[in-house]
Amino acid sequence: MRSTDTIFALSSGGLPSGVAVIRLSGPASGTAVEALCGRQPPERRASLLSIRNRNGEKLDDGLVLVFPGPNSFSGEDCAELQIHGGRATVKAVLAELATMEGLRAAEAGEFSRRAFLNGRMDLVEVEGLADLIVAETEMQRRLAAEQSSGGLSKLYDSWAKRLTHARAMIEAELDFADEDDVPGSVASAIWQDMQTLKQEILNHLSGVRAGEIVRDGLKVVIVGPPNAGKSSLLNHLARRDVAIVTEIPGTTRDVLHVDLDLDGFAVRLYDTAGLRETDDLVEQEGIRRTQRSMAEAHLVLLLSAVDNPDWAAFIEGYDGPVVRVRTKADMRDTAWPAPNADVMISVRTGDGIAELLDRVGSYLPDLDQGSALALPTRHRHADNLAAACAHIEAALAVGDRGLDIQAEHLRLAGQALGRVTGRVDVENLLDVIFSEFCIGK
């Protein structure tokens, strides 16, 4: 792959669609547009032009825009063709571009990768953009918007700046250590700030779990004995027939999941095989899968259709939060609430469902509704932030006898922060990060 290639791709979604956007990036973008449209349109303004192949046959009329580098999405010369989103139309224009000298189809994430390499976005912003594209709930959108628009990067950069400043002050102190008239108090203010910085990073890190739940969804696993009504509950909440429901115990074997939107948060709800002693090999495997899902759950909904004095036996080994749900409330005339249950529901009548959702909602992160969501969203961030913290801690622990060792720890802390935004040492990460994107992004 040469970075001087000009790349092109369909950047809008699935076809057919009202409008399809084909994007180009690279030095031949301008000549490609000229070849297709017969002339060079004005910069950054939409021009309605006919798009023709090399034989002069019209392929479509469309809006054509050119964005000269470096002030473009990728930092290179870019162009956009907004054409009709019919499959054949798009195919014809893409085929015509492919015949042109120096042009080739883009790989997944290649536009964003070029934007990163040209300094238009840092890694945190790139990851935020990937999240923004797939965001389905309001909280996912807010988190990704904050990240992709540079809010989080700004925070990390400000921390890196404080580390650099501290190192500079230490260097100054080292250089002038022999001179009596340099006040030693310069460094003491620095250590005060490093103490504060460490605490700020730790506070930020305490949001890792919330960030992961917002981004990936709260994992809620429905478990219980066969025929408790687990699949029925999943279908009811999903409002469609996702799982097979029969009166035969042991119906569900594979773990199924649906994504729900609860108060703007993503909730991933899992239906599992009923738990019981069984000789059936397939059912045994289903039960193993149930236990695996439970191990990753943020919350377990433990269902039972009968009064169950020994709920805990079903979830042995799981020590996270549990909501005990008594099902099929329509089938008996016993008084509410059921003993030994937190909630009583019926998917027939809908009774108790709102209360159950309230309960689930209480396990969502408690985030300020109005403010920006500046939370770490990935292990990659958390690991590097924790490393930065550990280096600051180490610097603080050395004490003022070893200024040069302290400076080195602060340098390593800055490097760890730089790895989050991609300012240093991330070449090997790029393939992983950009492969998250689809083609055209």
Ligand X SMILES: Nc1nc2c(ncn2[C@@H]2O[C@H](COP(=O)(O)OP(=O)(O)OP(=O)(O)O)[C@@H](O)[C@H]2O)c(=O)[nH]1
Binding interface with ligand X (CB under 6 A):
226-232, 245-247, 249-252, 274, 327-328, 330-331, 346-348
Q: Which of 212, 120, 194 is nearest to 129 (CA)?
A: 120
In whole angstroms, how large is the CA radius of gyration of the chain? 29
Instruction: Specify the residue, 148 or 252, whose C-beta has the smaller distance to ligand X.
Output: 252
| Separation CA 430–CA 416 (nearest Å) | 16
Instruction: Specify the residue, 168 or 306, whose C-beta has the smaller distance to ligand X.
Output: 306
Q: Which of 158, 156, 186, 159 is nearest to 170 (CA)?
A: 186
Among ligand X, Mg ion, K ion, none, what does residue 332 contact (CB within 5–8 Å per kind)? none
Q: Find the residue with minimal CB distance to ligand X.
A: 274
Among Mg ion, K ion, ligand X, none, what does residue 12 contact (CB within 5–8 Å per kind)? none
Does the protein bind K ion through residue 227 (CB under 5 A)?
Answer: yes
The answer to whether 324 is a known ligand-binding residue is no
Region near K ion per CB under 5 A, out of 135-143, 158-166, 227-235, 310-318: 227-235
Does the protein bind K ion through residue 251 (CB under 5 A)?
Answer: yes
Least distance in Å: CB of 332 to ligand X? 10
Does the protein bind K ion through residue 327 (CB under 5 A)?
Answer: no
Burial status of residue 144 (CB atoms within 10 A of its CB: 0-12, 13-18, 19 or more): buried
The answer to whether 244 is a known ligand-binding residue is no
Quote the tokens at residue 89.
């139309």
The answer to whether 219 is a known ligand-binding residue is no
**Taking a C-beta distance cutoff of 8 angstroms, is the pair 355, 187 a contact?**
no
The answer to whether 80 is a known ligand-binding residue is yes
Q: Are strands 6-10 and 103-105 parallel, antiparallel or unpaired?
A: parallel
Neighbouring residues of 244: CB distance < 8 A, sequence distance ≥ 6: 231, 251, 252
Least distance in Å: CB of 248 to K ion? 6
- List the Cα angle 374/430/44 in 5-degree steps: 75
Region near K ion per CB under 5 A, out of 165-173, 192-200, 224-232, 299-307: 224-232
Cα 214 to Cα 144, 293, 363, 374, distances in angstroms: 10, 19, 12, 11
Instruction: Specify the residue, 227 or 377, whose C-beta has the smaller distance to K ion.
Output: 227
Least distance in Å: CB of 335 to ligand X? 17
Does the protein bind K ion through residue 377 (CB under 5 A)?
Answer: no
Q: Which of 131, 324, 130 is nearest to 217 (CA)?
A: 131
Least distance in Å: CB of 200 to ligand X? 47
The answer to whether 249 is a known ligand-binding residue is yes
The answer to whether 274 is a known ligand-binding residue is yes
Q: Which of 423, 422, 440 is nearest to 127 (CA)?
A: 422
Among Mg ion, ligand X, K ion, none, what does residue 147 contact (CB within 5–8 Å per kind)? none
Cis ω before 337 (30° cut-off from 0): yes
| Separation CA 288–CA 286 (nearest Å) | 5
Among Mg ion, K ion, ligand X, none, what does residue 114 contact (CB within 5–8 Å per kind)? none
Cα 293 to Cα 116, 185, 378, 400, distances in angstroms: 37, 56, 21, 50
Interacting positions 231-260 with Mg ion (CB under 5 A): 231, 251-252
Does the protein bind Mg ion through residue 11 (CB under 5 A)?
Answer: no
Instruction: Specify the residue, 280 or 296, whose C-beta has the smaller distance to ligand X.
Output: 280
**Taking a C-beta distance cutoff of 8 angstroms, is the pair 378, 127 a contact?**
yes
Least distance in Å: CB of 217 to ligand X? 21
In single-letter form, the type of residue at position 388 comes to A
Region near K ion per CB under 5 A, out of 66-74, 112-120, 219-227, 393-401: 219-227
Least distance in Å: CB of 345 to K ion? 16
Interacting positions 213-232 with Mg ion (CB under 5 A): 230-231
Does the protein bind K ion through residue 232 (CB under 5 A)?
Answer: no
| Separation CA 35–CA 46 (nearest Å) | 17
Least distance in Å: CB of 249 to K ion? 6
The answer to whether 230 is a known ligand-binding residue is yes
Instruction: Specify the residue, 114 or 230, whose C-beta has the smaller distance to Mg ion.
Output: 230
Give phi and psi for 62, each to the nearest 5: -160, 170
Q: Are strands 299-304 and 322-326 parallel, antiparallel or unpaired?
A: parallel
- DSSP assignment, residue 424? S
Among Mg ion, K ion, ligand X, none, what does residue 120 contact (CB within 5–8 Å per kind)? none
Least distance in Å: CB of 289 to K ion? 16
Instruction: Specify the residue, 23 or 328, whose C-beta has the smaller distance to ligand X.
Output: 328
Q: Kindly list the strands in the beta sheet with 58-67, ordered across the sheet, starting from the edge strand earlier in the chain.
A: 47-52, 58-67, 78-85, 17-25, 6-10, 103-105
Instruction: Specify the residue, 323 or 382, whose C-beta has the smaller distance to ligand X.
Output: 323
Binding positions for Mg ion, rule: CB under 5 A? 230-231, 251-252
Contact set with K ion (CB under 5 A): 227, 251
Residue numbering of the annotated binding site: 23, 80, 120, 227-232, 246-252, 271-274, 441
